[in-house]
Amino acid sequence: MAYELEPKLDGKVALVTGGSRGIGAAIARKLADLGAFTFICGRNAAELKTTAATISESGGRCEGIAGDVSDLAQVEGLARTIRERAGSIDVLVNNAGVGGFGVPLHQLDPAKWDKILNTNLRGVFYTVRAFAPGMIEKRAGDIINISSLAGKNPLPNGAAYAASKWGLNGLSYAIAEELRQYNIRVTVVCPGSVNTELSPHEGKDPRKMLQAEDVAHVVEMLVTQQPRSFVSEVLLRPTQKP
């Protein structure tokens, strides 16, 4: 007799920021496939609606809520909406990100610096501030911050982006120590170049590059590991250099 296994995240609630496309959409699909009621947020309401509908049509539970993680009031509103509809979340994936490449730092427009840092770093502060208290009350949860190998290595002509990711790595390690006493696991995932629209990939073979689904697979491994353990950091590279 064959038995159907219960989805590993059945009854759980997840939020993926920057979830309308690319890496975020792939992660949202994976979490929904695992049984989580998955919320996605982003600035483009139309894209959110399309992605959420696609996931729902495949049998998952997904809802899109428009919002900008660099705006504290919008993040707090997002948290209130999710609490009203599903309760406190169990999985937070901070994926929303803004790229910035092509010019040396001394030529970078300060407004561009603000946009990159406010989304990639300040936005994570805002979401953790808004959602960690609910996890603390439950004494359980997973926070996964999508960083980059640019947060481990020099990135000429992308200094602001690199600074945001180096900062995100340090933030992740610090809050991991703050929250582990509540059984909340915090992990930072640092992929190499992924075949998405975020950054230029001139001269690279997209068939050899990481795909969004590869990052989603890592997230799956993280949220389904044994409760007594957690992975602090994942460095993800393609098997062959593209």
> What does the H/E/C string look like for 184-226?
EEEEEEEECCECCCCCCCCCCCCCCCECHHHHHHHHHHHHCCC
Closest CA to 151 of 196, 190, 201: 190
- Across-strand partners of 126? none
Max distance between CA atoms of the chain, in angstroms, equals 67
Q: Which residue ranges of the chain lie beneath pLDDT 50?
A: 1-4
What dihedral do alpha carbons 79, 82, 88, 94 form, nearest 10°?
Answer: -60
Q: Which residues are catalytic?
A: 161
CA–CA gap between residue 20 and residue 43 (Å, rounded): 9
Nearest to 93 by CA among 196, 223, 181, 192: 223
pLDDT (0 to 100) of residue 86:
97
Instruction: Tell me how far apart the terminal alpha carbons of the chain are, to the nearest angstrom.
Output: 46
Distances (CA, A) of 113 to 72, 88, 127: 18, 33, 20
